[in-house]
C-alpha cells in the first residue's frame, strides 16, 4: 500500500514512532497484556489502538479509573517498557514509511514526535537501524499536553525552525492526526496493523 503525500511546500517531515516508523504496536500490545495481567487488568486490542500515542502513565491511570484498580502507575509503566525492550530484536520498520524516509533523507530535516519516552524511541530506532536518519527526537518528557493536543508537534517545529504549515506529519493513530491538525499541519495516515489485517484503507 502506497502512502499518498498531500500537495504542499513541506520543509520538514515529523514522524510518530510506534506504528509509524517502527512496526512496534503488536509488540507493545503483548508487553501491555503481560504487564497488566499481573494486576488483573483488561486491555482489549481495539482500545489499545484507539489510544495509540498516549503516554504509558496516562494509559495506566485511565485504566485504573475505568476498572476501579489501584495499579502503581510508574512501576507498571516501567515493567511494560522492560517487557517491550525484550522484544526489540523482532522489530521491523514500516515499509511504506521507510520508502519516504529514504527518499527525503538529507533533503529536509526529520523529527520523531512520540508519546513514548525518548529512551523508548531511541531503542526502537536503533533496533531497526534508523536512528541516524533523524535530526530531532521529541519524547513524552518534552511537552506538557499529550496528543491530541498540538504541543508535541509544535515543539518539534519550533526546535527545527520550520513553520507549522510547512511541516508534514506521518501518523498511524487518530489522536495523532488530530494533534497534527490542531497544530496547523498536513498529515499522512499510516494504516495500523488492525487496518492492514482487515484491508481497511486509512
Strand partners, 167: 12
Cell of 53: 500515542
**Are residues 127 and 89 in contact, defined by beta-carbon separation less than 8 angstroms?**
yes
List the catalytic residue out of 9, 16, 151, 172.
Answer: 16
Decide if 16 is catalytic: yes
Give DSSP secondary structure letters for 44-103: -HHHHHHTTTS-HHHHHHHHHHHHT----HHHHHHHHHHHHHHTGGG--B-HHHHHHHHH
Catalytic (active-site) positions: 16
Amino acid at each position: 500500500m502506497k502512502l499518498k503525500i498531500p500537495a504542499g511546500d513541506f520543509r520538514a517531515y515529523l514522524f510518530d514512532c510506534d506504528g509509524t516508523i517502527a512496526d512496534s504496536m503488536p509488540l507493545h500490545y503483548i508487553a501491555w497484556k503481560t504487564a497488566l495481567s499481573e494486576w488483573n487488568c483488561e486491555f482489549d486490542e481495539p482500545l489499545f489502538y484507539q489510544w495509540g500515542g498516549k503516554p504509558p502513565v496516562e494509559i495506566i491511570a485511565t485504566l485504573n479509573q475505568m476498572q476501579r484498580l489501584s495499579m502503581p502507575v510508574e512501576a507498571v509503566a516501567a515493567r511494560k517498557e522492560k517487557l517491550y525492550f525484550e522484544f526489540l530484536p523482532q522489530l521491523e520498520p514500516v515499509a511504506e514509511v521507510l520508502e519516504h524516509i529514504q527518499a527525503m533523507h538529507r533533503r529536509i530535516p526529520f523529527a520523531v514526535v512520540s508519546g513514548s519516552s525518548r529512551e523508548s524511541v531511541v531503542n526502537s530506532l536503533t533496533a531497526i537501524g534508523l536512528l541516524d536518519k533523524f535530526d530531532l527526537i521529541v519524547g513524552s518528557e518534552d511537552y506538557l499536553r499529550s496528543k491530541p493536543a498540538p504541543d508535541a508537534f509544535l515543539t518539534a517545529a519550533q526546535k527545527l525552525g520550520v513553520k507549522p504549515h510547512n511541516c508534514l506529519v506521518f501518523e498511524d493513530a487518530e489522536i495523532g492526526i488530530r494533534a497534527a491538525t490542531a497544530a496547523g499541519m498536513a498529515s499522512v495516515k499510516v494504516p495500523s496493523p488492525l487496518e492492514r489485517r482487515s484491508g481497511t484503507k486509512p
